[in-house]
Amino acid sequence: MQRTRTRKRPCKICRKWFMPDPRQSGRQKTCGDLACQKENHRRQCEQWNRKNPDYFKANYLSEKLSRTEAPPAASEKRTPVVLPSSRINLFLPKDLVADTIGVRHLIILEYIIDQVMRHGKGRASVRAP
């Protein structure tokens, strides 16, 4: 069996020519420089995040909901509700709202409001005269 010889190729980041590792069999895109490898990793992560925009949204909401405890039964002694931090300010007494509708519902409500505000800002600036 005859081995094919790898050829030099330009680094995807710095464009310097390098000799790829033959064990990588054509997959090596950058030279051995650590800065080039980090930049390539950053670009690959950015590309993956653009292709999978809902991945972290789902994780964020499920993590926040999993941190809340189940509501106490009516016979149990009431303990003060510990609310998770939020990125938005509702200008409402959160403890009263959480006591009325529940912590889990409050978290979902804040998440929906945050999404509407984020998407509403981009569209509000594009108006016809």
Mark whether 61 and 116 lie in a shared domain.
yes
Residue 107 DSSP SS3: helix
Give the confidence band of 126 by pLDDT, cuts at 50, 70, 90: very low
Residue 107 domain boundaries: 54-70+88-124
Establish if 4 belongs to a structural domain.
no
Handedness of CA 19, 20, 23, 26 (dihedral sign): negative
Q: What is the pLDDT of residue 76?
A: 55
Average pLDDT, the chain: 78
Establish if 61 belongs to a structural domain.
yes
Per DSSP, 23 falls in state G
**Better-scored residue on pLDDT, 110 or 92:** 110
Which among 11, 61, 53 has a CA at the least distance from the CA of 32? 11
- Name the pTM for this structure: 0.49
Number of domains observed in the structure of the chain: 2
pLDDT tens-digit series, residues 93-115 = 777 777 788 888 888 888 888 88
Which among 12, 5, 6 has a CA at the least distance from the CA of 32? 12
* Alpha-carbon span 21 to 107, nearest angstrom: 50
pLDDT tens-digit series, residues 42-57 = 999 999 999 988 887 7
* Alpha-carbon span 48 to 33, nearest angstrom: 23
Mark whether 31 and 20 lie in a shared domain.
yes
Instruction: Map tokens 């800065």 to a residue.
Output: 35
